[in-house]
Amino acid sequence: MIRIFITTLTTLLLKHSWYKLQIFFIMRRFLYVFILLLTACGGKLSDEQRKRIKEDMKQHKIMRVTDAEITEAAFKHGREVMKAISLTKNSTTKVDSLGSVLKTKIKWIVPGAKNALEIENQLIEAYLVSSINGGMEDNVQRLGTDSLLFTQPVTEKLKDGSENVKGMWSIRMAKKDLILAMDK
């Protein structure tokens, strides 16, 4: 019966060209009413299902986030990952596990590394130059439109007071994950 109603409604609306754009909206409203009727007719949701639906609704909620807020979140997340890395005492298996748990890709980059991205090589070169001048800090760079790269140099003090760059931690994170983790 519902199928006949939908078919009849669609054919009537298609005959009038000015309704063509509204078909989608009418069908969507009909779908909402139909779902409401189904749930009202004895369909009970468990607490777990309600919780999952609320999480999905939160994920699909439209958020207005500026580039500065995303960069700030990347710095915060990168520094948290660095704290966790320091707790693993740089064990490669633990760092890999940490990366998968935190939804990031973590790499140790040394100067002149072949497995590094071009931007990572540029950043480590910049850290080497700034080690002479002083003032090395962690950094966030954009990688395309969907991810960010957090880098932090690891240095050691030499006897003459200068700093030697041993390498840097490179943490690649998805922009989407950063935005979903924000609580606005």
148: closest CA among 118, 124, 127, 170? 170
**One-letter-per-residue 3-state SS of 33-57:** HHHHHHHHCCCCCCHHHHHHHHHHH
pTM above 0.85, yes or no: no
Distance CA 167, CA 113 (A): 10
What pLDDT score was predicted for residue 18?
A: 47
What pLDDT score was predicted for residue 78?
A: 92
Over its length of 184 residues, how does the chain's per-residue pLDDT go in tens digits? 666 666 665 666 555 554 554 666 677 677 677 777 666 655 577 888 888 888 888 777 777 888 999 999 999 999 999 998 888 877 778 888 888 888 899 999 888 888 888 888 888 888 888 877 766 788 999 998 899 999 999 888 888 777 788 889 999 999 988 888 886 4
